[in-house]
Amino acid sequence: MISRRLLAGIAVGAVALAALVGSAAIFRPDRAIRVATGFVAQTACASIFVSGFDPQTVFAETADRAGIRGLRWGLGYHLDRAGKTVEASVAGLFGSRAAFHDGFGCVLLHGPNGPYLLKSDIDALKALKSPPLLPEIAGAAIVEPSDPKLKAALDHAFEEPAAPPFRRTRAVIVVRDGTVIAERYADGIGVDTPLLGFSMTKSVVNALIGLLTQQGRISPSFPAPIPEWRAATDPRREIEVEHLLRMTTGLALDETNSGFDVSSQMVYLHNDMAGLAVKAAMIAPPGTRWAYSSPTTQLLARIIRDLTGGPEQTLAFAWRELFNPLGMRHVTLQFDATGTLQGSSSMLASARDWGDSDCSI
């Protein structure tokens, strides 16, 4: 006969197992791991094919980031220079693949269907039709600091601590009154090297919304032009463009960078990033709650796409109305697989171009 103690132990074990299985079903650790491999593939692809960095260095530095470091035991990558792709996986599983398209950066490939391929002539878009509105912020040579205190600050920015986390500073540019007064670059990086701007990309998206506002095509006070929210009974119809700009929509789109949050999974697991974001439920009235949110910016990117007329028109608008007038020459905009600008974190530009945008936006 089975003892009561054993029965109790089996019952407790069954409950614990059920809880573990239920937790896994909810949190989906496989998705979090694929977020990590997606980040590695996408970041390495852009860093290698756009910035021109050494693959082994890129992989080592990317794998050493917080949140990914714990997977280094099994994390691997495969670079196909001929096919211009980068694949990343953990012990051969949970793979992600990113492909480079000349002039348009990299895009993660999900499922059997290929990504939307932009057909714009990128060189023609970059060709200046008129001089930039602003003077150059620096000449051809690297600007050395004249102030000893500024030099000391740059020295400190490039110092590496004895133990992780390491800084791995790539570039520092100091601009005052529209002119570079000091700059420094890591080995292998120069004034023209495109660098991933990560969330600085969001400021560019907001600037494009500002230009569309200036042209009378939208306004921060307008209800967000998102068809999925227009039903009379949908509380999200009260969300205005300004709420998206300020990240005060009240939607369940908080960003934690855990791999389990909707923001992380939007960027690295979905072809249609904004298509995931529009499904979020409202958890607070618009304007009453702030939460940092990349999906919020991605919704703005889709609005820009719709107002300009499509992916190619988005690209042309950005070069015509923003980059060329500011004199930004080394910019690469990346798009998701559906042809929507990846507006939350994926633009590349030289340090001086980022300085141009910071001075003007």
Mean pLDDT across the chain, nearest whole number?
A: 91
What was the pLDDT predicted at 5? 42
Separation between Cα atoms, residue 51 and residue 112, nearest integer Å: 28
> How far is Cα 177 from Cα 31, in angstroms, rounded to an integer?
46
Instruction: Give the list of residues 6+ apart from residue 133 with CB closer than 8 angstroms, or none.
Output: 325, 326, 327
Kindly tell me if the per-residue pLDDT of 339 is higher than 60.
yes
Superfamily of domain 123-129+195-360: DD-peptidase/beta-lactamase superfamily (3.40.710.10)
pTM (predicted TM-score)? 0.90
The arithmetic mean of pLDDT across residues 200-208, rounded, is 97
113 vs 292: CA distance, rounded Å: 32
Going by pLDDT thresholds of 50, 70 and 90, the confidence category of residue 53 is very high
Range(s) within the chain of domains with CATH label 3.40.710.10: 123-129+195-360
Alpha carbon distances (Å) from 210 to 87, 308, 328, 332: 37, 13, 18, 20
